[in-house]
């Protein structure tokens, strides 16, 4: 008798409704990208075939979530959906006090204003664009304490999101623990390619920060994906459920900012969670200035209900296995075509190494921005630059030159099929074949903040 075959990662859901997509011709796409200043953020979504710009707010909600939307209690104060959300966060993540916000950066703004004083240093396991900007606007300076392997697309380290404790210790020695209000720990580090932190490393960071009276704030935007990699790769966690691992991760931290538009499967929403009463009290007061009353924080009651249900669905083992399985399928396909991607394959997308893909372009010719535009022209697949444009400028005006110059093929949750993954890989391959003839870009408009969203470019001759 032959051995049984292990079931593949097939989706634990079926389709009940579909959204029709517009197909475009190459001349139409050439015109559209030129008009968009070669910035995929400035394309009209109806000119896009497969949209891999982001996994943020692009998930397909379940029938349970849509049913929950009908149960929205739109009272200005004390909506029952807020209490449902508060309960879900306490149950699945274990944080004590909760403030809803319109999305992740709303929580980052309030947290930074509450915890950071001018001149403070905020260590983190790699920067994220909005997170670092809010830290800087509050008078702080971000310091990268991620392990060196995270900056190397070729490194196969299983936990590239880990903190280098020596880097952290050097900061504490240099500035003193009093100047470090918290360490920001992201689960499944976005800018590193969706790479996880291990429980072992997180426990070490907890022990060290506790000794020095420093808080850990958890950017838990993709915590369930991180938990999946722990389950697959970390000794002792093979038999634990995603739900248990997520809860354990949160237990080593003092609070969290969450963009619920990713792991938590909603189209809008976020929250700030904190265990310390005094910090919570101040945050609860500030939220009324920037977001709305502390029981809705910029959201409708129905949004909070969908989030409460999404949180529960996001920690389901079958869901997360299919989620990451689809990304691994695309990553293997790209690797078979010889396309250089960040290794190991991450949790929310495939990150193509534009420096290796277009080695004839200097970083000042924007290789990742160029590649994202070329992929769109080839097939109508929309991706996103994660390199020098995203990195922006230092407060003194100099450009950051990040080691990683990547194009992110971000996969929305529960949206596309395996055949879509095939088309995406084929398009990347078509562009790869003619890569030597591709010319770079020149920036012709640069906004002051988060320039990658609105910058405009022109083709170099």
Q: Which residues bind ligand PM9 (CB under 6 A)?
A: 54, 56, 103-105, 128-131, 186, 190, 219, 221, 259, 261, 270
Q: Closest Cα to residue 192, out of 149, 232, 132?
A: 149
386 assigned to active site = yes
| Least separation in angstroms between CB 224 and ligand PM9 | 13
73 assigned to active site = no
Contact 99, 297 (CB under 8 A): yes
Residue number with the smallest Cβ distance to ligand PM9: 104
How many Cα atoms within 13 Å fall on the side-chain side of residue 192? 36
302 assigned to active site = no
| Least separation in angstroms between CB 56 and ligand PM9 | 4
Q: Which is nearer to ligand PM9, 300 or 438 (CB)?
A: 300
Catalytic residue among 63, 76, 393, 439: 76
Catalytic residue among 296, 376, 432, 452: 452
Q: Which is nearer to ligand PM9, 129 or 231 (CB)?
A: 129
Both tokens of 327, joined, read 């990304």
Catalytic residue among 105, 386, 451, 456: 386
Q: Which is nearer to ligand PM9, 181 or 194 (CB)?
A: 194
Catalytic residue among 29, 105, 240, 262: 262
| Least separation in angstroms between CB 297 and ligand PM9 | 13
Q: Which is nearer to ligand PM9, 131 or 162 (CB)?
A: 131
Give the burial class of 332: count Cβ atoms within 10 A of its Cβ; 0-12 exposed, 13-18 middle, 19 or more buried.
Answer: middle
394 assigned to active site = no
Distance CA 259, CA 265 (A): 10
DSSP 203-216: HHHHHHHHHTT-EE
Distance of CA 240 to the CA centre of its chain: 24
Catalytic residue among 219, 254, 303, 353: 219
Which phi and psi angles does 82 have, rounded to 5°?
-60, -45
129 assigned to active site = yes
Q: Which is nearer to ligand PM9, 24 or 135 (CB)?
A: 135
| Least separation in angstroms between CB 51 and ligand PM9 | 12
Please, which residues have CB within 8 angstroms of residue 328's CB and are 6 or more apart in sequence? 9, 345
| Least separation in angstroms between CB 186 and ligand PM9 | 5
Distance CA 81, CA 305 (A): 5
Q: Which is nearer to ligand PM9, 145 or 172 (CB)?
A: 145
Catalytic residue among 92, 128, 229, 296: 128
| Least separation in angstroms between CB 74 and ligand PM9 | 22
Enumerate the β-bridge partners of residue 121.
Answer: 141
Q: How far is CA 215 from CA 122, 206, 240, 386, in A?
A: 11, 9, 27, 29
Q: Which is nearer to ligand PM9, 122 or 172 (CB)?
A: 122
| Least separation in angstroms between CB 86 and ligand PM9 | 19
Instruction: For residue 360, give the 3-state DSSP assignment.
Output: coil
262 assigned to active site = yes
219 assigned to active site = yes
Q: How far is CA 394 from CA 130, 423, 448, 450, in A?
A: 14, 38, 11, 11
Distance CA 407, CA 342 (A): 10
Distance of CA 309 to the CA centre of its chain: 20
- Catalytic residue set: 76, 128-129, 219, 262, 386, 452
């Amino acid at each position: 008798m032959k051995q049984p075959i292990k079931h593949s990662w097939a989706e634990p859901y079926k389709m009940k409704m579909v959204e029709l997509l517009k197909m475009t011709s190459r001349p139409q796409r050439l015109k559209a990208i030129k008009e968009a200043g070669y910035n995929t953020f400035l394309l009209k979504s109806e000119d896009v075939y497969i949209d891999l710009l982001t996994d943020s707010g692009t998930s397909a909600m379940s029938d349970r979530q849509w049913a929950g939307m009908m149960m929205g209690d739109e009272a200005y104060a004390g909506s029952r959906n807020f209490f449902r959300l508060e309960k879900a966060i306490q149950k699945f993540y274990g944080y004590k006090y909760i403030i809803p916000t319109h999305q992740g950066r709303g929580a980052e703004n309030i947290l930074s204003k509450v915890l950071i004083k001018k001149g403070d240093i905020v260590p983190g396991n790699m920067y994220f664009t909005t997170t670092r900007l809010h830290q800087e606007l509050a008078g702080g300076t971000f310091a990268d304490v991620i392990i060196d392997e995270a900056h190397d697309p070729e490194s196969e380290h299983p936990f590239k999101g880990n903190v280098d404790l020596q880097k952290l210790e050097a900061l504490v020695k240099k500035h003193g623990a009093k100047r470090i209000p918290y360490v920001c720990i992201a689960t499944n580090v976005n800018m590193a390619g969706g790479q996880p932190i291990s429980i072992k490393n997180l426990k070490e960071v907890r022990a060290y920060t506790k000794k020095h009276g420093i808080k850990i704030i958890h950017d838990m935007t993709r915590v369930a994906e991180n938990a999946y990699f722990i389950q697959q790769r970390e000794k002792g966690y093979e038999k634990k459920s995603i739900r248990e691992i997520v809860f354990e991760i949160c237990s080593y931290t003092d609070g969290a900012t969450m963009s619920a538009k990713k792991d938590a499967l909603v189209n809008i929403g976020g929250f700030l969670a904190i265990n310390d009463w005094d910090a919570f009290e101040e945050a609860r007061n500030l939220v009324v200035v920037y977001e709305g009353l502390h029981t809705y924080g910029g959201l409708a009651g129905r949004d909070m209900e969908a989030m409460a249900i999404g949180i529960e669905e996001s920690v389901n083992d079958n869901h997360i296995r299919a989620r990451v399985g689809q990304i691994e399928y695309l990553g293997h396909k790209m690797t078979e075509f010889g396309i250089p991607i960040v290794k190991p394959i991450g949790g929310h997308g495939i990150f193509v190494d534009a420096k290796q893909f277009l080695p004839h372009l200097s970083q000042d010719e924007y290789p990742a921005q160029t590649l994202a535009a070329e992929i769109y022209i080839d097939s109508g697949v929309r991706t996103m630059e994660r390199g020098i444009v995203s990195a922006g400028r230092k407060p003194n005006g100099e450009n950051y030159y990040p080691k990683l110059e990547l194009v992110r093929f971000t996969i929305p949750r529960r949206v596309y099929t395996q055949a879509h993954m095939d088309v995406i890989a084929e398009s990347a391959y078509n562009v790869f074949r003619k890569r030597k003839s591709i010319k770079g870009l020149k920036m012709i408009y640069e906004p002051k903040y988060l320039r990658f969203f609105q910058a405009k470019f022109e083709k170099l001759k």
